[in-house]
Structure 1
Amino acid sequence: MRVVEVTAYGGPEVLSMARRPDPQPGEVPGKVRVQLKAAGITIGDLRIRAGLYVDHMGGLRPPFVLGTDFAGKLLDPAPGPGGTLPVGTRVAGFMPWYEELSGQGTYAEVIWADPEWFAPLPDDVDFTTAASVPLAALTALQGIELLNLPPGAVLLVTGASGVVGRFVVQLGAAAGLRVIAVSYEGDEHELKILGAKECVPRGEALDVLRQVREHAPEGVDGIFDGALMGTVAMAVLKDRGVFVSFAPDRLPEPERDIRVEFDRARPDAGRLKRVLEQVAARELITRVADVMPLEEAAEAHRRAESGHRPGRIVLMIR
C-alpha cells in the first residue's frame, strides 16, 4: 500500500511517498482494518514533522507515517456504539498518534484501528468533511470540560477561524458562555452566527489583547488557546482563571492561581457518533479549506503552514 513518510525532521520537503506491506486480516489483535478515503492534516502533524515534539515521542524517529483524522470503509467487521458494524461500513475517527507512537499514521491507504477510535458515518456526511471532524471536535468537547466555566463566564478563543476553534466557539456558546473570538478578518459574521458574542481580528499580540480588553475590561474567565499565543495571552486572564491549550510546548507557567491545562483529545466512539450525527444535522459546523491527493502531502503541508485559508486541509486517498 502507499503511505507518506516523514524521512527526517524538517520542512514539507521531508515528506515522501513510500510503499509498505498491505495489512492482513487478524494481524493485530483487537484492531480492524480501515480502507481510507480521506485523512485530515492537523497542526500537530506540522509540528511533529518539524521536530518540535521530539521530547514527547519516546524512541520513535523517522521514517514514520503521520496522521490522526481519517474517514473510510471497514475491511473487517467491528464492534460499534450501536452494535456490530459490518464490512463496508462508512466510518470516521482519529488515531491517538501520541499514545500509540507506532509510526503508523493515517497518511496511508489502509490502517489498523481500535474500534474505540471511530464511529459510523452518517450518509449525509461525505468523507472529506468527515476527515475534518473527529480530532477537532473531541479536542473542543474535552477542552470545554477542562475549562469547566459556569454559564455567563467570558471565554476567549484564539484561533477561532480554525477547525478546533470553530468547534470551541459553538460548544462554548451552547454551554451558555460569552465567547470572544480571535479570528481572521472576514470570518466575524460567520463566527457570530456560530455563537461568538464579539470578534477580534488576528494581528500583533499586544493589539489583539488590547481589543480583547475593550470587550472585557475586567479580563476573561477562561482562554482556549487555539492560535498558540501562549504566555502573552495570560495578560487578559483573570486571577484564578483557566488556560487550556492543545500544544504541550506552548503552555504558560501557572501564575495568580490560574489553572493551566493541556488538552489532548481521547478517543470516545460513543461521543464521536453523536458529534457526527450533529454534523449531519448541521447542528455543528466544520470547515474544509482544501482537498488534495495523498501524493501532494508535501504541498498540503506548505499550504497549511502558510495559513492561506483557515480550515482543515484534507488528503484524498482513494
Structure 2
Amino acid sequence: MKASASQSINRTGLVRNKAGVTILLKCVLAILVLLCALWLGAAIGETSIPFSTVAKTVANRLWDAGYPLEPIDEGIVWSYRLSRAVVAACCGGALAVSGAVLQALLRNPLADPYILGVSAGASTGAVSVVILGIGGGIIGLSTGAFLGALLAFGLVSLLSLKAGRASSMIILAGVAGSQLFNALTSFIVAKSATAEQARGVMFWLLGNLSGVRWPDAGLAVPAALIGLVICLTQARALDAFTFGRDSAASLGISVRRTAALLIAASAMMTSVMVSLVGAIGFVGLVIPHAARLLVGFRHGALLPVSALIGAVFMILADILSRIVIPGQVLPIGVVTALVGAPAFAIILTQRKARS
C-alpha cells in the first residue's frame, strides 16, 4: 500500500513537472517569436538595415557594447523603428485582448472595441482634449480618451438594454454609437481645428505610428501589461461568462463587479492605444477568433495567445504600411482593414464548414 501510494505521488509529481516544463517552453517560444517580430520591425522599412546592425544597436544602447556603427543607421533603428515596433506590439496585443474579453462578456463573436464604439469614443475624448482644450491642461490625452471610451461603452450598453437583451442588439447599438462619436469627432475638427490640426487629426484617426517614440512606449507597455494581467486574473470568470451571466453567478462569481473590472481594463487599454496611434479596426475582432482556432476557448490560454498574435500582426502590418508604396507611409488602420477583412471572412467560412 505504501509503495503504491508513493508511486502515485511520484507520477503526480512527474505530470506536474512535465506540465511546468511545457508551459516554460511555450513562454520561451512566445518570447522568441515576439523578439523576432521586433527585430523585423527594426530592420525592414523604407531603407533596409542589416539584422546585425539592429542587434549591435540594441547592444550599444542597452549594454554600451561599443560596436562601431553609422550614426544615421543607429538613430533610425533605436529612435524611430524599434520604438515604433514596441508601440505597435503593445497596441496589437491590447486590442486583441480587449476583443477577446468583450466577446466573452457579451457572448457575441462580433464584439470588439472598434465595433462597439469604444475606439470612436476614445477618439472623441482625445480630440476634445487636444482641440477644445477640455480640462484646461489638467486632463491629459490618455485620460480624455479613457473617459470618452467609458462614455461610449456606457451609452452603447444603455441603448442595447432599452432595445432588448439579445446579443445582436449591442452590436447594432455599437454601430449607432460608433457613428455618433465619429460624427462628433468630425464636427469638433471641422468647427474648431486649424487646417494643420485637421490634417493631423484625420490622418491620426486612420491609425498612425509615425510620431511614436520611446516616451510613448513608456506609456503603452505598462498599459498593455497591466490590462493583460488584470484580464488573466479573471480568466476563469471569463470561461463562466461564455455560458451566460446566470451560469457565472451560480458559480459564485460577482457578475457586476467582475464585468465592471474587465470593461474598465478593456477601456483603459483601448483608450491608451487610441490616444497614441488612433483608432484601428479589425484587430480586436479577428485576432481572438484566430487564437481560438489554435488553443480553444479557455481564456487562460486564449488571452496570452491573442496578445502574442495581435502584437506580431500589428508589427507586420506596420512593416507593410512602410513598404507597400515606395516613399509613402500608409495609415496602419488601412493595412489592418485590408488584411483583417479577408481574414475574418476566411475564419467565418471555416467555422461554418466545421459546424
* Shared fold per TM-score greater than 0.5: no
Q: Which has the higher contact order (CA 8 A, sep 6+)?
A: 2
- TM-score in terms of structure 1 length: 0.29
Please say which structure displays the higher CA radius of gyration: 2
More strand by share: 1
The TM-score, its normalising length taken from structure 2, stands at 0.27
